[in-house]
Structure 1
């Protein structure tokens, strides 16, 4: 928690309560900085604050999903002053904040190893895949994603069939759909990384994997307690994937929800 030199007792009390609440959004965090502005402080008695800012680094959501940085900032917010006296913050009505979320290439690749994501890529029974595997389920593993300029990505993985493992390789563009889903668009098979004798089957498996991936990343699956994220745009920048949008804050989070 950071306080400016002129921060008075009311703001310090708000900052302390907000920091404690925000901390419970995450399984782990390297740092969480909260700043609440209320001037003059007498407005707090009416439950009015001017501005709320949060900045966090090294955040882990639901124990598996690493966020390099998350920021959001609101305009004026109405709160229940009585809740502050109890060490909590209760909103009188939901509020919106501008938001920015930064993921790293390494963090994304770690997410592909998480239990939630691995389950989505195991024992797939799509008819097109089972035709290649003699009627047996197909799995994908060892996924490695590389961020490229101009909102493009490159992905390498392995398709596990009953009697064979086939490397797959693709490029695609990433975009946002309906402000909450990451879409992998215009997938293209990249044969150079695949042995020549496997390229035919690898191309089919790659396109099937691209379809599975395109239906996998929905922000609502990574919900934060009381905070709904919506994304307007994204961009790749070196080894970072940066989302910009807004956060719908229904309530301040409760302790214990991570």
Structure 2
């Protein structure tokens, strides 16, 4: 295979994108970029397709993606930059993305220092009295059938009482495809108020804001959700404005 082989050129440009993505995330267990074109198209500034596959990518708020896959159609790039081993888009390109989050990874993020700050010192009214609540523990289960189940233990500071609650909900697409909202189906527990349930779910959905998954230069809009047993599958439309670089 010659030094000017199209396969070698594709591999070199693919490696540039892999290094760029890796440099901008906290943790990357595996990343693979498959850029496909040929010398004739490359001279004209055309890349036939780009496929990005990753495993164990940790993004904002200590949120780990079990897998992510992004696929583009034809991409327009600056051919001169490509000759020097860089990929600069001449205009944004559309893509499709599929992200898988496991129950375990969501719960790890839910117990992170970031979420600790969000779930402690919550101010609200209970039976007409102002109270301060600390969520001591919260656990998300994904039982399947497109449902979320939450169990939480919380401390009411004023009375020093520890209480428990549980609730089930279904996820919905919200905020123009940026965020997941939850429709509560049932809730039960001691000292339970609808406001308390909503506060916990609001913090969970804030964690699942798709903007938390954006790789620099790549934005996502939610298209479909699948809450399967043990995992959440997110299908999204993606727009790539800039290829990740070091």
Band the TM-score falls in, shorter-chain normalisation: 0.7 to 0.9
How far did residue 30 of structure 1 move?
Answer: 1.4
Find the residue that maps to 2:95 and give its secondary structure. Answer: strand
Higher strand share: 2
Q: Cα gap change, 1:63/1:112 in structure 2, threshold over 3 Å: closer, same or farther?
A: closer
The answer (yes or no) to whether the contact 1:33–1:54 under 8 Å persists in 2 is: yes
Q: Cα gap change, 1:69/1:245 in structure 2, threshold over 3 Å: closer, same or farther?
A: same
Match in the other structure for 1:143: 138
CA separation in 2, counterparts of 1:85 and 1:15? Answer: 13
Q: Cα gap change, 1:211/1:238 in structure 2, threshold over 3 Å: closer, same or farther?
A: closer
- Write out per-residue CA displacement over residues 180-207 of structure 1, whole angstroms, 9 at most, x where no aligned residue: 111111242135xxxxxxx3x1355653
The answer (yes or no) to whether the contact 1:33–1:56 under 8 Å persists in 2 is: yes
CA separation in 2, counterparts of 1:214 and 1:62? Answer: 14
Q: 2:223 aligns with which of 224, 229, 232?
A: 232
1:90 aligns to 2:80 (yes or no)? no
CA separation in 2, counterparts of 1:188 and 1:155? Answer: 11
The answer (yes or no) to whether the contact 1:168–1:205 under 8 Å persists in 2 is: no
Moved over 4 A (4+): 129-132, 203-206
Normalized against structure 2, the TM-score is what?
A: 0.87
CA separation in 2, counterparts of 1:248 and 1:37? Answer: 19
Match in the other structure for 2:152: 157
Normalized against structure 1, the TM-score is what?
A: 0.84
Find the residue that maps to 1:103 and give its secondary structure. Answer: strand
Unmatched runs of 5 consecutive residues or more in structure 1: 1-5, 192-198
Match in the other structure for 2:28: 29
1:212 aligns to 2:202 (yes or no)? yes
Match in the other structure for 2:49: 51
Match in the other structure for 1:115: 113
- Write out per-residue CA displacement over residues 36-76 of structure 1, whole angstroms, 9 at most, x where no aligned residue: 1103x221112111000010011111361110000010000
Moved more, 135-144 or 97-106: 135-144
Q: 2:179 aligns with which of 175, 181, 189?
A: 181
How far did residue 213 of structure 1 move?
Answer: 3.6
How far did residue 130 of structure 1 move?
Answer: 9.0
Root mean square deviation, CA, Å: 2.2
Q: Cα gap change, 1:189/1:51 in structure 2, threshold over 3 Å: closer, same or farther?
A: same
The answer (yes or no) to whether the contact 1:130–1:137 under 8 Å persists in 2 is: no
